[in-house]
Amino acid sequence: MHLPHQRNPLHNLPDTPEAYDAVLADVVEQALRRMTPEGNLEHPDCVDDIGDTSLGITSLLALAWQRTKNPRLPEAVHRSLAFHLRERIYNEDNPGYPNLKIRNSRLPYARYVLETGAHPIGDWPSTVWALLQAVNILDLAEALVGDEQRAELLELARGYWRWLTDATYFNPQEAGNQAIGCVVGGLMLARHLPDVQAESVRARALKLYNDEIRAHRVRDRGALLPPEHGGAYDNNYGPISLSFLAQAHRVSGEEVFAEDGEALARYLDARLTSGGFDNGGPRYSEQHSGFESVLGLRYFGARIGSDLGRYRGDTRWGRHAVQRDGRIDGHFAFMLVWQIQDTTRWHRTPSAAPVRHQLRSGTVSVAFDSRMTPSLVEAAGTYYLPAAVHRQHGFGPVTDGFLLCRPMGEVRVRDVRAGGLAAKLVTKPVVGRDHVLRHVQSLYVTDGTSLWVTVAVERLDGAPYLLSGLPYAADDGDRVRRVAEGEVASAGGLRLTHPTDPGPDHFDARGELTQEQAAFALAADPRGYGNPDEGWRHLVGSTALEADPAPGAPEGLHVFAVRYGPGGPFAPAFDTDEQGLTVRTEAFTAVLGDPAGDAAGEPVLTLSA
């Protein structure tokens, strides 16, 4: 069983001018075959997300004409644009639309579903998309669109902008990608207006960005991010927001968009595994975007100097949106226009700078959450999620059913590289059910092929073990396959346990449910509207790797040692002296200093191969 949406890294798709010309040539042939006598270019099976789609394909035809001067295209552009201007402009309020500030404004908008009163909640983003398709055509209209049509289209774009910013509440779905897209639409529209009007629209767009988006950013893992459907980051929409920030910077030159885009890019880089797998979000846990992400990943990957294109997108949408039959849908076509126009090339090598919330080398990576607990571990092509025990989620020591991974005080981190090894030491003060404060030291070391994890804590009562992750997925060529086991060794006993209790709040990795499906089953609202991250937090128990304490630990300590990935016998040794705890494995020797740190409270770690 493969995960449905995580496929090839997006930078594997050719992005040369010749490759894009081939994409446009295919779009042209499909569009000319599809166009109805009325000029409609909508996919015949499209029901929702439809109000901008014919206009989107028109913009692609306009771009193709600018690049090839294909004589068949001017008439097709004229007819399809006339269709949208005649048949797809709505001026009467959609019954049931809940986000109007001005009723009966007579301003134009685009519908998410064409049927009156059917699912009107999607009209705001659909109008953003229609505005963006319109301004793209205005950009490409020279010598192609007649003066009368161009004037009508410009007036329509102005009406869309006013409906989005005057007649409705701004960003009613609290979706950063939609809101930034609206700002981009205003910035692009301003370039086609007389000076006074242009300055007014541009100033309004920048003010909306600062007051309604930037001022409401959400902090996660040390970064301030545009809120996405009520959360900090979503695997589908977060990279789309990055693309909108890239376009905002391209068309405006405003430094704020570069600054915020780089912050989002570094955040994404830190949470993304080397293999490009990731999960989590307030709307979709595993449903990745495709071509919609390319512009932002490529543009900001080059700016921060990292291989963001490793992101595993849904390459069925690698060039443009498609319906089930694989034929083009005009939804989000503006992103394909922008990425063809942008000349940035993929940056394909990782950033060498250590990052607080990530350890990465070769094919090994660990992404850490805001508490510096691993949120995703990758080794030997296998991906491990935090496991759950008694409603507690994470990686860490467990005693009497209590997971010691939630910090009660400052979490301190030290990164060291030596002899081809990369290491991170995380020191956390934690409090157990007995109210005793203990310092948990977690050492992560990798040679780029395997990952060694050593966890030391003051001696615990009972029969403690190390909760060592939930094996969930593995690379399988250009796909990601579901798994329920991984290549893991432990200095102590090692068990792979599965929940025995029934119900959606117990996740068995051997089952057919994906993490996203299980999360939505526990979410408060329906799939697509509920928060899967919030739902997943209701998980009581899961498949889990449980590692017993390593033998030979120094007196007064419990030490757990686990290796993820290939290797021979695994028998680490430990001792203590005035320098701290020494860990010796087949690959390295490390000394973990006093948990209290040095004189300045900084963690002390020495490492040698």
pLDDT, tens only, 433-459: 999 999 999 999 999 999 999 999 999
Residue where the block lists tokens 């692009």: 188
Q: What is the pLDDT of residues 162-184, one digit of tens each?
A: 999 999 999 999 999 999 999 99
Tell me what the pLDDT averaged over the chain comes to. 96
**230 pLDDT tier (thresholds 50, 70, 90):** confident
Q: How many of the other CB atoms lie within 10 Å of CB of 433? A: 10
Residue 516, pLDDT > 90, answer: yes
What's the pLDDT score for residue 82?
Answer: 98
Residue 96, pLDDT > 90, answer: yes
Cα distances from 17 to residues 72, 246, 534, in angstroms, run 21, 20, 43
What's the pLDDT score for residue 572?
Answer: 98
Residue 346, pLDDT > 90, answer: yes
Strand-strand pairing, 421-431 and 488-490: unpaired
Q: Write out the two tokens for 333.
A: 């076509």
Q: What is the pLDDT of residues 555-573, one digit of tens each?
A: 999 999 999 999 999 999 9
d(CA 226, CA 233): 8
Residue 111, pLDDT > 90, answer: yes
What's the pLDDT score for residue 191?
Answer: 98
Strand ranges (E), 107-216: none
Residue 285, pLDDT > 90, answer: no
Q: What is the mean pLDDT of residues 129-156?
A: 97
Share of the chain above pLDDT 70, in %: 100
What's the pLDDT score for residue 528?
Answer: 79
Of the CA atoms within 13 Å of residue 216, those in its CB half-sphere come to 17
**215 pLDDT tier (thresholds 50, 70, 90):** very high
What's the pLDDT score for residue 401?
Answer: 94
Q: What is the mean pLDDT of residues 121-138?
A: 98
Interaxial angle between packed helices 237-252 and 333-341, expressed in degrees from 0 to 180 and rounded to the nearest 10: 50
Helix, strand, or coil (residue 269): helix
Q: 171: alpha, beta or left, given left = phi > 0 and alpha = psi -120 to 50?
A: left
Residue 602, pLDDT > 90, answer: yes
Report the run of H or E that residue 18 belongs to, with start and end.
helix 17-34
- The overall longest dimension of the chain from CA atoms, in Å, is 86
Residue 287, pLDDT > 90, answer: no
Residue 231, pLDDT > 90, answer: no
Residue 529, pLDDT > 90, answer: no
d(CA 340, CA 21): 9
Helix, strand, or coil (residue 545): strand
Strand-strand pairing, 382-385 and 374-379: antiparallel
Picking from 392, 366, 399, the residue whose alpha carbon sits closest to that of residue 536 is 392
Picking from 271, 266, 268, the residue whose alpha carbon sits closest to that of residue 237 is 268
Residue where the block lists tokens 């242009």: 198
What's the pLDDT score for residue 497?
Answer: 98
Q: What is the pLDDT of residues 29-88, one digit of tens each?
A: 999 999 999 999 999 999 999 999 999 999 999 999 999 999 999 999 999 999 999 999
Provide the whole-model pTM: 0.97
d(CA 151, CA 558): 75
What's the pLDDT score for residue 78?
Answer: 98
What's the pLDDT score for residue 5?
Answer: 93
Cα distances from 495 to residues 285, 378, 466, 473, 507, in angstroms, run 28, 19, 10, 18, 17
